[in-house]
Amino acid sequence: MLKRRGLWGLILGLLVGLLFCVQGQSVRASADYTISPYRVNVQVLKYGDANVTQTMTYRFDDGYHGVFNVQDIRGIQGGKLTGVQYRVNDGGTVTGVPATDGQNGSYELTQSKQRLRVKLYQTVSDGDQMAVTYRFHLRGVVKNYRDTAELNWKVIGTGWDVQLNHVKVTIQLPQTKVSKLQAWTHGPLSGHTQVDRQHGRVVMTVAQNPAESFVESHLLFPTTVTATNPNKVAKNRLVAAQQQEAKLARQANQKRQQAQWLRWGFFLVLIALLVGCGVRSWWWYHRHPANKYAHPTPINHAFDVPGVTPALAQSLADGMSPNTDALAGEILAAAARKEITLEPVKDGRKETVKLTKNGEQTNSFLEKCFAQVGSDDSFTLQELKTFGKHDENDELNKWFSEWQEPIDDAADTYYDDKNLKLRERLIGTRLGLSALIIVTAAASWLLGVTVGKVGTVVGLIVLIVFWIFVGRFYRRIDRNNAKGLDQVNELTGFRRMLKDIGHFNTAEIGDLILWEQILPYAAAFGLAQQVADKLAVDFGPEALDTDLVVFYPLFYGGVGLPLGDALSDSLSSALQSADTSSDSSISGGSGGFSGGSSGGFGGGSGGGAF
């Protein structure tokens, strides 16, 4: 079984690894802030300059003194900062003022031939949100060639050390209805470029731009759009630029196609693996059928005392190791055998039950409790709870497990070992194939929204049908052998009688001596108090006081203590307290981003928090 689990673990591990490879995600240490959204609006002027507005929203997970922004001006004719504004959380907009004192609301500007660096001071704390807007005027961003005007610019540079989310860059030309406007964007291949020739505008969007990655915009448009631009180059540029971008676009589209084929390959491998594992599993179960037995006629209500102990009765009826209800039943049985005495007492203001040792114990759990819980060969349920709360070595659970072992061994003779292993294997098969179905359905989203929706619906249908089929097959595998089926049939009828005790006159079924033998089984099935209450109605208090000597003080002594609940609940509470386990467009129209670079100016711009 361990080998099978290891095999499924290996398969799922490989699937997860392949999924990460297909998605191409890189692992980075995250900063204590995120930026979302990130907006850049560029207004190109007729003389080739541009007014740039950058707006970014920081979301902080730690305290900071402020933020900074770098605007790269290499490759153009210079620039200047024209304004800084910010807003913290839902407060009002604050206009930054130049200063060197580091006070909130002030900023420092450092300028060179290569860059403009703005350091804005504003103390923020964990959970704060701050939207910052920078305005720049950049000179000479457009070049007018003989045959075309060109704007080639890394609008977002590689200087950001965190991922930018929900990025949108808008470039507005000084003229509308630019029929020969072409635009390409280089950056993440998941981005999209929208060329709006009617309004002379280009809009670039991408959900995430990774840290240290750029977004570069390359625009070509008629020279008449920037007719007064003094930045002129006396040569042709249009054809060379178009050919360069066509090459980059083909490369990007090829990468997209390769990635799509890889995703389809991954998806088809998953389907093949799913079908292969499913067929192989079916063939294995076909060659290894379960042992079949004739089932006895179901007994509706059984009234005879079972021929097995209360703990074994509960274990067989539920098909599991005995629980604390079963232990409570065994404690009542020990009291009936006079091995122990049970009596209601008060521990301070709390009502509890005292257990006193009368002689040699057949119950290993009680023997350990008498030795280490309480004193003078006695202990109370309250003392047991207290012991459990301070049981750093988990002794109670060890004692309980040791008590369960011989009962589990006795139950084994009623089980079919081959069928049990088959049921266990079937559970592993169900979990493994279910995980494979879920992973396959999830992988369909890598192929697009439409395929993802279809894959999810089909996967859900397959999963439901598979679980129904496996459930029916599982129920047809008997865990009991012929002996066990007969015994469980009797126990099931006996428990059903106890559950339906309100429909019978218990005095007509048998005398109180019989019911004294039955009460431990009722406790093992969690029905002791229900049965005791019915006996009080049918026999009357005088008969109970006279003939139900052992249990009368516990169930009817007037102390207000429901023993059937208190005994099992106290054992369960003590054991739980003791549990210490640790828990791209070639033509320049709208389309996707391209990879590579067209050599635009800038590229070192970025920012962060300090």
The domains of the chain, with CATH numbers, are 50-139 (2.60.40)
Per-residue confidence at 595, pLDDT binned at 50, 70, 90?
A: low
Report the pLDDT value the prediction gives residue 173, as an integer from 0 to 100: 95
Averaged over 336-340, what is the pLDDT?
90
CA dihedral sign, ordered 441, 442, 447, 449: positive
Per-residue confidence at 447, pLDDT binned at 50, 70, 90?
A: confident
Q: pTM of the full predicted structure?
A: 0.56
Report the pLDDT value the prediction gives residue 547, as an integer from 0 to 100: 81
Averaged over 289-306, what is the pLDDT?
92
Report the pLDDT value the prediction gives residue 216, as an integer from 0 to 100: 86
The DSSP code for 137 is E
Averaged over 498-502, what is the pLDDT?
91
| One-character DSSP codes across 24-70 | TPPP----SEEEEEEEEEEEE-TTS-EEEEEEEEEEESS-EEEEEEE
What is the percentage of the chain residues whose pLDDT exceeds 90?
A: 46
Q: What is the mean pLDDT of the chain?
A: 84
- The C-alpha atoms of residue 39 and residue 56 are separated, in whole angstroms, by 6
- The C-alpha atoms of residue 484 and residue 478 are separated, in whole angstroms, by 10
- The C-alpha atoms of residue 331 and residue 563 are separated, in whole angstroms, by 11
- The C-alpha atoms of residue 271 and residue 459 are separated, in whole angstroms, by 11
Report the pLDDT value the prediction gives residue 597, as an integer from 0 to 100: 56
- The C-alpha atoms of residue 462 and residue 52 are separated, in whole angstroms, by 54
Report the pLDDT value the prediction gives residue 44, as an integer from 0 to 100: 95
CA dihedral sign, ordered 418, 421, 427, 433: negative
pLDDT digits (tens, 9 = 90+) for 63-84: 999 999 999 888 888 999 999 9
Is residue 9 pLDDT above 60, yes or no? no
- Which of 185-199, 279-293, 525-539 has the highest mean predicted lDDT (pLDDT)? 279-293
Report the pLDDT value the prediction gives residue 109, as an integer from 0 to 100: 93
Go through 111-128 and write b for each residue having 16 or more CB atoms within 10 A of its CB, e for each that does not: eeeebbbbbbbbebeeeb
